[in-house]
Amino acid sequence: MLAATNANPTGLTRRSSPHGRLMALSMMKDEGPYVLEWVAHHLAVGFTDILVYTNDCSDGTDAMLQRLEELGLAHHRENRIPEGQRPQPSALNYAQSEPLVAQSDWLLVFDADEFLSISYGDGSLDGLISAAKDKGANGIVITWRIFGSGGVQHWSRAPVTEQYLMAAPQMWNKGWGVKTLFQFDPEHWKLGIHRPKIKNRWLDTDWPQKIRWLNGSGRPMEDYFRFRGWRSIVRTVGYDWAQMNHYAVKSIDAYAMRKFRGNVNFKKDKYNTDYWALQDRNEVRDDTMLRYHDERKRIFDALLRDPVLNRLHFAALERAEARLAEFKGTAEYEAFVAGLKAASAVPITQVEAKPPKARDPERIAALMSDVEKRAAAVRVAEKADRPPAPLDLYVRGPVDLSARTPLEWFANHTLMLPGDARVFTPLGLDLLRAGKFERNLARNLPRILPQGARVAELGAGCGFLAAYLSRIRPDLTWAAQETAPGMEAVLRGVWQRNGVTGDRMRIVPAGAGEDLPAFLNEGPWDLLMIGDPSMTPDVLTDLPAPPGAAMLIGRCLCDTAPDFSDWQDLFEDWGLTDPLPFDATAAYGFRRPPADQ
């Protein structure tokens, strides 16, 4: 918490940290309505120093930052942009030789529409850095979380961090840009927008081996990220410790004002309907930012006690609102609103994130240093030695379907499945779009099940396999259970959409038993399918009647691989020793050998 003092009207002074100087470095242009909230929030999070470069401001943003510098609460520098250069690289070039930056112990470069949100511990930057240090790390790669308009059209002075609480699903990979909090050393690092770059003279030394970065869940980043990359991938994404809330659009009216202002990198027509469709993601509620409400408000209110900041802040608001008022009520405004609302109705599976230019593999290879190439060769060799990984199709954790969001449905083996990023991983969505969801099992399951077979499925996911087999094998009896919060609703929705009915097909509500689902006692089952990631061999040891076949699929398969020894022991105890004919990426299971073997 910032200490109180009578030295200035705010009663605030610069805080200290056991980790030294913690620097937030940013660039701004005409962010007047938002700048005090951004500063207050990041002081509340725990930065000891805030440095902002501004260019071409007309709404008092630079004056507010200058006043904050006079009060000892932030630092301001003018970004004089050389001919032909963009504002962000220009500011970073200045920052590279700025003494305040050089004195920083930990540093994070991020924008005015980005707010750091820490879930770890008490939500403080000190606690986050302590946790990283405890793991021997010297950096944390923090992934964007895209926040949309939440359906808000009209302008409001309410805080950004409290007004917009609807976000993209965590596993939606179109919004996985990163920002990097790291221990800064100007001798070795060149500053960058998303991550710093190792200076060339250190690339082919042992210094890169000292880089130990974690992802946003506190897990080690992969080695390649020491050298390049600005986005998370499926293997590296994580939000358990921290995320960078990205409020790129806000309300329709706020988006209009941003369009008037232009953008920090002079990109022509950036703020169009395509950009809105990409950034206006409202699939799930995320209110973790509210943990900072009291401290942020305390600091924000204290800043407004300074008469200069008070005057500049409200002047910026009134200027923005006056300009917006001129636009509202015109035919152009009505067309603008209609276009954005149409873009909001675009299903998430149809949204594209177009790169600024096409990737050139040959050029990328030419830019790679020898040390990167050697590291890449090691990774390729290690990958060749690993068995194929199971197909990870489902998002982990609770599924929140409370938000009404446009969905696209895809045909898979005569069934319709929802392209819902709240439910399926990026790989799962790709397979849905291609009509290949769980294709190996869909093709081979019907061949191994005897006539009139009884199937029990623990962790049925979206219920695709049961629904599909109900069409092509009406002789089967199927009991499906799904215990992940919210997932049972997905299962029921898929069955309803595809007309799965009848006494032979039933969904067993979660919680039918404490340790062993009660319906399993209705056995013997011809096939027991285990997709529930919380299921263990111990839970199933005392089945009154062992199944004729059993297999791990889906989330349980992914979370168990590659060590199946405990499950293999259980299957052998049941007398199941004949391997089932499925691809290793789809299932691991055995059946009882024929009687004549």
Is there a contact between 224 and 141 (Cβ–Cβ < 8 Å)?
Answer: no
H-run or E-run covering 579: strand 578-579
Q: CA angle, 146 as apex, 114 and 150 as ends, to 5°?
A: 105
| pLDDT for residue 560 | 96
Q: Look at residue 514 in the predicted model and tell me its pLDDT.
A: 45
DSSP string, 575-589: T--EE-S--TTTEEE
Write down the pLDDT at residue 516.
60
pTM metric for this prediction: 0.90
Pure H helices in 232-306: 252-261, 273-279, 293-304
In this structure, what DSSP letter does residue 199 have?
-
Residues 551/576, Cβ–Cβ less than 8 Å: no
First to last CA, the chain: 73
Of 306, 241, 297, give the one whose Cα is nearest residue 43.
297
Q: CB-based contacts of 470: which residues, under 8 Å, 6+ apart?
A: 476, 478, 500, 502, 504, 505
Q: How far apart are CA 517 and CA 510, in angstroms?
A: 8
What does the pLDDT profile of the chain (597 residues) look like in tens digits? 444 444 689 999 999 999 999 999 999 999 999 999 999 999 999 999 999 999 999 999 999 999 999 999 999 999 999 999 999 999 999 999 999 999 999 999 999 999 999 999 999 999 999 999 999 999 999 999 999 999 999 999 999 999 999 999 999 999 999 999 999 999 999 999 999 999 999 988 899 999 999 999 999 999 889 998 999 999 999 999 999 999 999 999 999 988 776 544 445 556 789 999 999 999 999 999 999 999 999 999 999 999 999 999 999 999 999 999 999 989 999 999 999 999 999 999 999 876 555 556 665 566 556 666 666 665 555 555 567 889 999 999 899 999 999 999 999 999 999 999 999 999 999 999 999 999 999 999 999 999 999 999 999 999 999 999 999 999 999 999 999 989 999 999 999 999 999 899 999 988 644 446 677 888 789 999 999 999 999 989 888 889 999 999 999 999 999 999 999 999 999 999 999 999 999 999 999 998 765
Q: What is the 3-state secondary structure (H, E, C) of 364-398?
A: HHHHCCHHHHHHHHHHHHHHHHCCCCCCCCECCCC
List beta partners, residue 118: 242
**What is the pLDDT at residue 391?**
95
Question: What is the CA angle 76-69-30, rounded to 5?
Answer: 45
369 class by beta-carbon count within 10 Å (0-12 exposed, 13-18 middle, 19+ buried) = middle
For the record, the structure tokens of 559 come out as 């979370």
Residues 6+ apart with CB under 8 A from 355: none
Q: What is the DSSP letter of 81?
A: P
- pLDDT, position 194: 97
Domains assigned to the chain? 22-256+267-348 (no CATH), 409-591 (3.40.50.150)
What per-residue confidence (pLDDT) applies to 308? 96
pLDDT, position 563: 94
Of 69, 12, 19, 8, which is closest to residue 43 (Cα–Cα)? 12
- CA neighbor of 32 nearest in space, from 112, 122, 139, 132: 112
pLDDT of residue 356: 52
Instruction: Give per-residue burial for 317-329: e unless 16+ CB within 10 Å, then b.
Output: bebbeeebeeebe
CB 407 within 8 A of CB 347: yes
Say if residues 352 and 549 touch (Cβ distance below 8 Å): no
Q: What is the pLDDT of residue 362?
A: 66
For residues 54 and 66, what is the distance between their CA atoms, to the nearest angstrom?
A: 10
